[in-house]
Amino acid sequence: MNRFCVAFACVACFSILLTPTADTTAGDWSQFRGPQADGVASSGDYPTKWSDTENVRWSVALPQPGNGSPIVVNGNVFVCSVEDSKGLARSLICFDADNGHQRWSRTVTLAEEMPTHKTNPYAGSTPACDGSRVVVWHATGGLHAYDMDGGPLWSRDLGEFRHMWGYGSSPVIVGDRVILNSGPGKQVFVAAFDVESGETLWRHDEPVPGDGERNAEGKYMGTWSTPVPIERDGRQLAIVAMHQRILALDVETGDIIWFFRVTSDRGDLAYSSPMIEGDLCVFNAGFKGPTMAFEMNGRGDITENQRWRIEGNPQSIGTGIMRDGFVYRVGAGPNLIDCLDAKTGETVWQERNKAAFWGSVAVAGQTAYATDQSGTTIVFRLSPDEFTPIAECPLNDSSNATPALAGGRIYLRTNRKLWCVE
C-alpha cells in the first residue's frame, strides 16, 4: 500500500528552462558533504566574510524549518523542505543558483503524521544529483528521482520509518547507483538502487535488537549516518555507520567486505559519518559515546584493527574532517571545536564556541567552514598548531545544516531561509 501520493503540479517560473547534462561539473556540490561525500570542495576560492547584510548575493524564504542541507549542480540549488508543521507534505525545491528564483517544486503527501523530535522538523535529508537526475529521500514518503526540469522519473515506497527522533540520512550517488542507509526504525537497511530506473539492485538488512528506538537493554538506538564512498584495490566501497557496527559494502554486489563492531554504554547510536584518510577510519559514536580509530584492512570482522578508543567525547551530530593525520571536529555539546591526533586520539587543541554545532564541517583548501546553531559560520584554518580563527559570519537565524561550497559561492540553509554568499 502506498503511504504517500506525489504531486507534480507545483511548478514555478515556467519561463526558465533547464538543460540537463550527463554529469556534474567541476566545482559542484552534488550531495551531502560534497562531490565525494567527504566534506571537501573540489576547487575554487570561497568567501570568508559575510553577514545577513553583507556579501549576500541573494536569500529566499523557505516554507518550513529543516535540517537538510542544500546541494548545487549545473546552476541549480536543490533543498528539501516540508510545507506544513506536521510534515505531511514533503518537498524537493529547485532554485536558480545565480539569483535564487524558484524553478520548480515537487511534493509528496503522507497519509499519516510520523513522529520526530522538535530539533529535527521532518526535512532532515539532503538530495543527491548526478547532473541528469536528482534523488531525494523522504523516509516514509519514499525515495524519488526527478530530471533536471522536475519531471518525475521514478518513485519507490520502501515502507514505514518511524522513530521518535525522525530521520536524517541522505542518499549518495556512486556511478550508476544510489546508495541509501534507510535510517532508524524497526527496519534498518543499506540498499543500492539503479539511478535510471529505481530498481533495487541489492539490499542488506541490519539486525535490529529491540523495537527500533531502544535496544534489548532499553538504551537508545538508531542510525542517521550517510554512507561514504571510497575506492580500494579497484573496488568501490560504501562505508556506512550502522547502530552497532561500521560496514564496508561492495557497491557492485552489496557484499560485506569487512565490519567493525561499535559498542557504547550510551546506546547504539550513529549520528555522524565515518572520517577516512588512507587506511585509517575515525568514527564518533552518538550521544557522547566513544571516538575510535581503526585500520580498514582485512576481511570479515576487523574489530581487532582498533588503534585507539576514547570515552566521554563531546556530542557529535555533524561530521568532522580528517586531514594530514589530524581530525578536526565540532561539537553539539559542549560547544567545542577541537583537533585530535589521528594516530593516538590525543587532543591537540580545543576551543569553546558560543553555540553548539549540528551541521558538518566543509573545507576548501586549508579553510574550514562550520555553521553553528545560531546561524553563525565559524571560518578557521586547518592547522594542528593551534586554533586559527579567520572570521565569524552571522546570519541571525538558527541552523542545523551544512554549508555547500560551489563555484566560489557558499550556499547556506537556516530555519527560515536559503542563502547565497560570495
Sheet of 189-194: strands edge to edge?
172-174, 177-181, 189-194, 200-205
**SS3 (DSSP) at 140:** helix
Task: Give the span between the Cα atoms of 355 and 331, in whole angstroms.
Answer: 9
- Cell (9 digits) for 294: 581503526
Write b or e for each residue in 8-33: b if 16 or more Cβ atoms lie within 10 A of its Cβ, otherwise e: eeeeeeeeeebeeeeebeebbbbbbb
CA distances in angstroms from 8 to 12, 134, 153, 177, 285, listed in the order given: 11, 15, 12, 24, 39
Task: Give the span between the Cα atoms of 172 and 71, in whole angstroms.
Answer: 12
**DSSP single-letter state for residue 139:** G
The residues facing 178 across adjacent strands are 173, 193
Task: Give the span between the Cα atoms of 139 and 154, in whole angstroms.
Answer: 15
Task: Write out pLDDT tens, residues 342-371.
Answer: 999 999 999 999 999 999 999 999 999 999
| 3-state secondary structure string across 164-185 | CCCCCCCCEEECCEEEEECCCC
Burial category of 388 from C-beta neighbours within 10 Å (exposed 0-12, middle 13-18, buried 19 and up) = middle
Task: Write out pLDDT tens, residues 17-42.
Answer: 333 333 677 789 999 999 999 999 98
Burial category of 297 from C-beta neighbours within 10 Å (exposed 0-12, middle 13-18, buried 19 and up) = exposed
Mean pLDDT of the chain: 94
pTM for this entry? 0.94
Domains of the chain, first to last? 171-278+296-307 (2.40.10.480)
Task: Write out pLDDT tens, residues 144-157.
Answer: 999 999 999 999 99
**DSSP single-letter state for residue 293:** E
